[in-house]
C-alpha cells in the first residue's frame, strides 16, 4: 500500500500523535534516502528533517543524502533500494530541476518506499504547483510547474496561511479549477495511505476557487 506524507515544517519535533502514526507506517527501516533541495550546497545535509525521525524513534540501518556529490546512476540505485524517501525542504525549483536532471521522479513513483516531503519537498511531490512572487518564490512571473505526481492534487506547504487566506485563495483560484489543492502552514501534514487522505493540523482544501478548513483526522 502506497504511503505518502506531505509535511509542513516542524520547529522542534513531530507532535506525539503524528510521530506515532509515522512510526507505525514505516515498518521497513533498512535505508533512508534524502533528496536535497539545494544539491550544490553540501552543507545542506538534511539534519533537521532527520532529527524529526530520530526523535520519533525511527532509525535506519543506512542513511543516504542525494545531491551533486552522488553520481546520477548511484542516486537512482539508492532510490530503488530505499525503505523511505524524504524530499528535503528548501528551494522548490532547485529540487524540481534536480529531480528532472537525475531522472528520479518516475523511480519515486514506481517504488514501494514510504515517500515524505517537507515544505519544498512536499510541494514537489504533488502533481503540479504554482510558484508565485506573492508566495516568496524567486520567479519573474507566476508559473505552474509539474511535480512528481505521486497523487493527483497540488500542495502549498509551510506558508503563513492564516494571515494570508485571501491572497492564497486569489493566487490559487485558477489552478483550483483544474485540481484540488491542499494548503497548510508549519506543524501540519497530509497523509495519503492507499485511497485514504488524512490531515494533521490546520489544513485547507481549495477546490473550484472555494476554500474550506478540513477536520483533523490524525
pLDDT tens for each residue of 89-147 = 999 999 999 999 999 999 999 999 999 999 999 999 999 999 999 898 989 899 999 99
* 31: three-class secondary structure by DSSP: strand
Per-10-residue mean pLDDT for the chain, 218 residues long?
A: 96 93 98 97 93 97 98 98 97 97 98 97 98 90 96 94 88 97 95 97 96 95
pLDDT at 153: 98
| Short-list 176, 216, 177, 178, CA closest to 200 | 216
pLDDT for position 161: 80
* Integer Cα distance of 158 and 193 in angstroms: 21
Q: Provide the pLDDT for residue 11.
A: 87
Q: Which residues pair with 132 in a beta bridge?
A: none
Closest CA to 116 of 177, 179, 60: 60
Position 3 scores a pLDDT of 98
Q: Which three cell numbers stand for residue 195?
A: 485511497
Cα three-residue angle 64-109-76, rounded to 5 degrees:
40
Q: Give the per-residue pLDDT at 78.
A: 98
- Distance between alpha carbon 162 and the CA centroid of its chain, in Å? 20
- For 119, left (φ over 0), alpha (ψ -120 to 50), or beta? left
128 touches 175 (CB < 8 A): yes
Domains of the chain listed by start with CATH number: 3-213 (3.40.50.880)
Residue 18's SS3 state is helix
| pLDDT for 163 | 85
Annotate 161-200 with DSSP letters as a single string: -TT-HHHHHHHHHHHHTTS-EEEE-SS-EEEEETTEEEEE
Question: What is the pLDDT at residue 12?
Answer: 84
Report the pLDDT value the prediction gives residue 77, as an integer from 0 to 100: 98
Distance CA 82, CA 75 (A): 11
Amino acid at each position: 500500500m502506497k504511503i505518502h506524507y506531505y509535511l509542513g515544517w516542524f520547529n522542534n519535533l513531530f507532535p506525539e500523535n503524528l510521530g506515532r502514526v509515522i512510526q507505525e507506517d514505516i515498518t521497513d527501516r533498512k535505508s533512508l534516502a534524502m533528496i536535497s533541495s539545494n544539491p550544490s550546497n553540501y552543507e545542506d545535509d538534511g539534519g533537521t528533517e532527520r532529527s524529526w525521525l530520530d526523535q520519533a524513534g525511527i532509525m535506519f540501518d543506512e542513511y543516504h543524502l542525494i545531491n551533486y556529490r552522488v553520481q546520477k546512476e548511484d542516486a537512482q540505485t539508492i532510490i530503488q533500494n530505499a525503505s523511505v524517501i524524504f524530499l528535503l525542504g528548501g528551494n522548490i525549483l532547485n529540487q524540481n530541476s534536480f529531480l528532472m536532471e537525475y531522472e528520479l521522479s518516475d523511480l519515486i513513483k514506481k517504488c514501494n518506499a514510504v515517500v515524505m516531503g517537507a515544505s519544498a519537498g512536499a510541494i514537489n511531490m504533488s502533481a503540479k504547483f504554482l510558484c508565485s512572487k506573492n508566495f516568496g518564490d524567486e520567479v519573474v512571473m507566476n508559473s505552474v510547474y509539474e511535480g512528481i505526481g505521486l497523487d493527483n492534487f497540488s500542495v502549498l506547504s509551510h506558508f503563513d496561511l492564516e494571515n494570508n487566506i485571501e491572497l492564497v485563495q486569489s493566487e490559487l483560484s485558477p489552478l483550483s479549477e483544474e485540481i484540488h489543492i491542499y494548503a497548510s502552514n508549519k506543524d501540519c501534514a497530509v497523509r495519503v495511505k492507499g485511497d485514504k487522505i488524512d490531515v494533521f493540523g490546520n489544513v485547507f482544501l481549495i477546490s473550484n476557487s472555494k476554500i474550506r478548513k478540513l477536520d483533523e483526522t490524525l
